[in-house]
């Protein structure tokens, strides 16, 4: 899956219809994809040429959305009133990524 196809899915998740932040969102998507590749023990750039499973794609969408909503360094976005929200996002993302992890020793 090309990384740019994730942009529309992240924007839908964030309920964004404007294009003002597309460049910023693309940076967050790239960071989320790199995190997924690292966490899953696969080579950098793998998802630039290979399709993501639905669970990995959902993790990337969630993480990129979290980066966008938390860009000020807080737990951010709709969850600013919950101190545990930031941690819960990371736990959920890691659980999703674990399903496709390459368990090398």
pLDDT in tens, the chain (105 residues): 456 689 999 999 999 999 999 999 999 999 999 999 999 999 999 999 999 999 999 999 999 999 998 876 655 555 555 667 777 888 899 899 998 888 775
> Do the domain assignments include residue 105?
no
Give the pLDDT score at 54: 94
Indicate the pTM of the whole model: 0.84
- The single residue listed with the structure tokens 């969102």 is 25
> Do the domain assignments include residue 21?
yes
Residue 52 vs residues 2, 10, 57, 100, 102: alpha-carbon distances, Å = 10, 15, 6, 9, 14
> Do the domain assignments include residue 76?
yes
Q: How far apart are CA 10 and CA 97, in angstroms?
A: 17
> Do the domain assignments include residue 103?
no
Per the CB < 8 A criterion, the answer to whether 60 and 36 are in contact is yes
Please state the domain count of the chain.
Answer: 1
Domain that holds residue 28: 5-98
> Do the domain assignments include residue 104?
no
Taking alpha carbons only, the member of 68, 93, 65, 40 closest to residue 50 is 40
> Do the domain assignments include residue 34?
yes
């Amino acid at each position: 899956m090309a990384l740019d196809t994730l942009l529309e899915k992240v924007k839908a998740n964030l309920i964004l219809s404007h294009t003002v932040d597309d460049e910023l969102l693309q940076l967050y998507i790239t960071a989320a994809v790199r995190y997924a590749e690292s966490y899953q023990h696969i080579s950098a750039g793998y998802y630039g040429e290979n399709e993501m499973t639905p669970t990995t794609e959902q993790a990337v969408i969630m993480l990129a959305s979290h980066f966008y909503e938390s860009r000020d360094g807080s737990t951010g976005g709709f969850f600013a009133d919950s101190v545990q929200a930031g941690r819960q996002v990371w736990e959920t993302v890691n659980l999703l990524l674990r399903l496709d992890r390459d368990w090398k020793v």
